Amino acid sequence: MMIFGIVQGQVIIAPMGGVVDIDHKAIHEAMRLYGIRDRRECFRKVLRLAALAREKQGGKK
């Protein structure tokens, strides 16, 4: 997914150094810049991919 590839490194880091979540503002800005029409569906997919990536890395679900 193009938008996930663009924003996957834009994460929120906890004070102790762990990844909290992907930055939602980065997702919305990327969708705006790339003219994504169905933003709700795209946002849902990006969040799911981010959750799967965290699970794969041993993070929270």
Tokens (6 digits) for 12: 């929120």
Judge whether 61 lies within some domain. Answer: no
pTM summary value: 0.86
In a domain, 49, yes or no: yes
Residue 7 maps to a domain: yes
pLDDT at residue 57, as a whole number: 81
Three-state secondary-structure class, residue 14: coil
Q: What is the mean pLDDT of residues 1-16?
A: 94
| C-alpha–C-alpha distance, residues 16 and 10, integer Å | 17
Give the separation between CA 28 and CA 26, rounded to whole angstroms.
Answer: 5
Task: Report if residue 23 sits inside a domain.
Answer: yes
Name the domain count of the chain.
1
* Token representation of residue 50: 């981010």
Domain that holds residue 39: 2-56
| Structural domain contains residue 13 | yes
